[in-house]
A = this chain, B = another copy of it.
């Protein structure tokens, strides 16, 4: 490891070319009973790659302002979406010679879930034009900048997988919610209906939620409100939700 005749390492100096380093965030929210992703429009300025195309919110790491990758991701979240995300996890990283015309680049991608109530009044902050897209809008040929389509697909896959055995959909809801509302979040993400009775026992016997002394009032029977017993740690179930005849 001491002396490979190549650029990296221990040439006594650090004067070899460095890749560009960025952070991008895939931000999910459920609006109008659809899973949606926040995208921003690439600037049209000269020299900018993929001008005018939609891209994941993100950008270069700022070595002077960002303490760490996660801090950088939270900054992007604030700047682009104007929110503190109740759930943020690392999705992975994508890097290579050809993903950005400006040169070898690597992006660290995070994955956030936010309640639709937290969504800013559209196009806020200092972010460029921003908009929410349903997943169906990408089935066609609509391109995204860079390899962001691939990244977004990976994020959706990860979310769909985790929904089967974790409590992640709870982070798509406000602090207090009913069990029916929680069930609907699961159904929206999984894109299939689940059994009410089984779902309720599953959730209640797991200790995921605790009741608050309030009811959700509506046109019909009032529903018990709950909140997360431990908002910081998602619950992992020991069984997946069974898919019908599959």
Contact = CB atoms under 8 A, between A and B. Distances in A.
Interface stretch (A11-19, A180-188, A194-202): A11-19
The number of times this chain is found in the oligomer is 2
Interface stretch (A169-177, A216-224, A235-243): A235-243
Q: Considering the complex of A and B, which 6 residue pairs feature the smallest CB-CB distances, nearest first?
A: A68-B96, A8-B60, A69-B95, A63-B104, A1-B128, A18-B18
B59 A9 contact: yes
A97 interface: yes
A94 to B, nearest CB: 7
B2 A128 contact: yes
A1 B123 CA distance: 12
Interface in A1-56: 1-2, 4, 6-10, 12, 14, 16-21, 40, 43, 45, 47-48
A63 B238 contact: no
Interface residues on A, range: 35 or more
A61 interface: yes
A95 B127 CA distance: 24
Given A1-B128, A40-B1, A93-B69, A8 B59 contact: yes
A214 interface: no
A66 B92 CA distance: 18
A217 to B, nearest CB: 38
